[in-house]
Amino acid sequence: MSGDRQRNWFTLGILAISGVLLACATQSIPSYPTVQLTPDKQALLVTPHNQSALSPFTLGNLPAESTIAPGLFFRPQRFALVLLSPDGRHAAFSTEDHHTLVGVLDLHTMAVREIDVITEGEVVAFHWSGDSRLLAYDCLPASGYRRVKAYDTQTGESLVVPRNDGQTVLHITFEAWGSQPRDVVLSVLNVRTNERRTNIVALMPGK
């Protein structure tokens, strides 16, 4: 076989293998839905991959009474934030009201799990872990000092940041996930001195 023919067969072989690998890679890409707020923030639009949108998930689909604090009733004005988990299974959301509902929507069953209530406060940002098990969120409670809380979707545990030497004049914000399970990298700002530091802490079960 001539050198040119050998090179041609070699090139065709490489192209064929590349095509198989590309096809396999394309087939292995998971199909995730999308979740977004309606322009008026009165509903969440859930759209399965390559399908038309489901019926909007509205404020009326939310629980009227808190399961965490029985006797407390929600009257949300609108949804505030929403963030889809990396595995496409859950969407974290918060509402705007005197009592902010923080919840997780199961996109397979469309069932809501209430994970927190923030009175006279709000959620500033959500952060999913890469494996979609943990959800951390920056919140601004009535005290005016930013805090970080979290939730374990597998165990149903609420997680908190350990207390910082009894100091209350601190803004604590999420920076990144740590290298160990439940470890988080936090930015800590002392409001009085304007000093900022970075801490790595392990989230702990909280009430």
Contacts of 52 (CB under 8 A, 6+ apart): none
DSSP β-bridge partners for residue 133 = none
pLDDT band at 124 (very low <50, low <70, confident <90, very high): very high
State whether residue 27 is helix, strand or coil: helix
As a whole number, mean pLDDT of residues 11-28 equals: 38
pLDDT value at 50 more than 80: no
State whether residue 68 is helix, strand or coil: coil
pLDDT band at 16 (very low <50, low <70, confident <90, very high): very low
State how far the Cα of 96 lies from the Cα of 41, in Å rounded to an integer: 10
As a whole number, mean pLDDT of residues 31-59 equals: 85
Look up the pTM and report it. 0.81
Tell me the fold of 32-205. Neuraminidase (2.120.10)
How do the domains of the chain map onto residue ranges?
A: 32-205
Residues present in the chain in total: 207
